[in-house]
Structure 1
Amino acid sequence: MIIIREFTLFGIEHFFYIFGYGGLAVLAFYLPKIFKFNIDKFAKFSGYFILTEKIIELIYRYMVFNEPFTNLLPFNMCNYTLVLAALMMILRSNKIFNLVYFWSIGAILAILTPDIRVAFPNYSNISFFTTHYYIYFAVFYCLKYFKFTITFDALKKSYIYINGIMLVLFPLNFLLNTNYMFLKRKPLRSPMDFLGPWPYYIISLEVVMIVLFTLMYLPFRKKN
């Protein structure tokens, strides 16, 4: 029998998740330096590991929680960012990094206001925080060990591509009765509550995204 405890947003346990999983991500980041691992092999291992872990999570949610297949497609921002982050680590690709770097901003919102129902030690909870922190682990890993950089052209492409994906997902959400990228409705108790009702909060998010992407580019401006 699987015992499932309910997740409480901003409860004490939530902050343990933030710092606990974050601490593990920091530890993993320094493992190549501590144990003299080959940075390429360790990156590839982490990429294959996280992809396998994500597949197991989707199967678990389908079998245990009976989630519909349409809800398990990798169309949320963090999911396709995660897949790209894993491929970035496996292929050591600066081109993929250009997208993952900017799109990783969504993982912060997910970690602070997670759209999950279950608490630790349920596997869905473990996988949720592990996969979202992996995105930042991969970004900083590529900055530190692979010396990847960002260009202004990458900023423009990241913004254009994300909007292209949104244009596809907007009608798809109504067709499949899903809410990918929260284009159909806002998540409960999130910063989006301050951005207005539907559909105006989507326009507000566009403005916020432009500002955040620009701020994220600034550290690379002098290098370019």
Structure 2
Amino acid sequence: MAFRGGAVPPPPGRRGRGGVLPLVRGPALPLLPPGRDARVRRARGRLRAVTDLGAPEHLGALLGIALATAVLVVAARRPNPDWWLKTLAVVLVVDEVSWWAYLLLGGVPGSLLALSLPLQLCDTAIFITAAALWTRRPLLVEVTYFWGLAGTIQALLTPDLPQHFPSYPYWQYYIAHGGVVASALVLVVGLRIHPRPWAVLKVAALTIAYAALVGAIDLVTAANYMYLRAKPPTATLLDVLGPWPWYIGTAALIGFALLALLDAPFRPVRRR
């Protein structure tokens, strides 16, 4: 879900000697062309220092999400889980909408809001996850499962979050991303709504189509949704996948392999 594409003016007192500090989450803009220079490398170094992977605030969030997921998966196998599944759906949507309220109340200019639309894959996954929890329709569950465990979980392991505990952006980020991952396991492991045959190809096709749409929006708005124009400023898996634009193709191949791997446990079940 990350920063929604744009550099957002910080709250009062957050301006440092280096200029405007990105408020939270994602590829800081204004975005330079793909041939990035030393200024980008320096910015990436500063944000890496802020994110601090493996810090107690990061590991604590992961532990809390893991424990909550285990409890919810067990609870899903008990009678009448419908009420709390729908409650979880509402929580995810409210958490996402609250981020927009946070931006608006902070006085973010409309031009920057245009670069902060909920178009990152994790943003869209939140609404799909909420719909899957509410309706339990197979296609929605499949998209939630594959996007959640192949994509959103990476945002938890390498968070694009230059904010610290206990700030609001910290809580909002981990509730959103952790909620998608937990919901994916609740639906597939807890409720046993398993992916159907050809689910991998269907979700892969939907993902490619969505990426093409987002890429067109990136061209029009000069944003960086789905990191199609540049890598995130913080350390992520994309850092080892080569320069732009090659990392996009490499990430797509890895993504398809992850979908197939996530589908593997259910193939023997489908043959019965």
Structure 1 length-normalised TM: 0.89
User: What CA deviation, in whole Å up to 9, does each residue of 1:96-126 have, x standing for no partner?
Assistant: 1111111111111101111122111111110
1:208-219 paired onto structure 2 within 5 Å: 208-219=254-265
In the alignment, is residue 180 of structure 1 matched against residue 228 of structure 2?
no
Matching residue of 1:55: 97
Instruction: Rate the CA distance shift 1:28–1:3 in 2: closer, same or farther, 3 A.
Output: farther
| Distance in 2 separating the partners of 1:66 and 1:9 | 28
Identify unmatched segments of 5+ residues in structure 1: none
Matching residue of 2:252: 206
Matching residue of 1:80: 124
Task: Say whether the 8 Å CA contact 2:72–2:186 is kept in structure 1.
Answer: no
Offset, 1:168: 1.1
Matching residue of 2:136: 92
| Distance in 2 separating the partners of 1:52 and 1:21 | 18
Q: Which amino acid aligns with 1:175?
A: V
| Distance in 2 separating the partners of 1:40 and 1:26 | 18
| Distance in 1 separating the partners of 2:164 and 2:115 | 20
Structure 2 length-normalised TM: 0.74
Identify unmatched segments of 5+ residues in structure 2: 1-10, 15-22, 24-49
Greater fraction helix = 1
Q: Which amino acid aligns with 1:55?
A: V
In the alignment, is residue 196 of structure 1 matched against residue 242 of structure 2?
yes
Give the structure with higher Rg (CA). Answer: 2
User: What CA deviation, in whole Å up to 9, does each residue of 1:172-208 have, x standing for no partner?
Assistant: 1122121111111111311111110000000101110
| Equivalent of 2:60 in 13, 16, 26 | 16
Q: Which amino acid aligns with 1:15?
A: L
Offset, 1:25: 3.6
| Equivalent of 2:206 in 158, 161, 179 | 161
Matching residue of 1:150: 195
| Equivalent of 1:109 in 123, 141, 154 | 154
| Distance in 2 separating the partners of 1:151 and 1:115 | 32
Three-state SS of the structure 2 residue aligned to 1:148 is coil
| Equivalent of 1:43 in 76, 82, 85 | 85
| Distance in 2 separating the partners of 1:10 and 1:179 | 26
| Distance in 1 separating the partners of 2:263 and 2:190 | 19
Identity %: 22
Q: How many residue pairs were aligned? A: 222
In the alignment, is residue 127 of structure 1 matched against residue 127 of structure 2?
no
Higher RCO by CA contacts (8 Å cutoff, separation 6 or greater):
2
| Distance in 1 separating the partners of 2:237 and 2:76 | 36
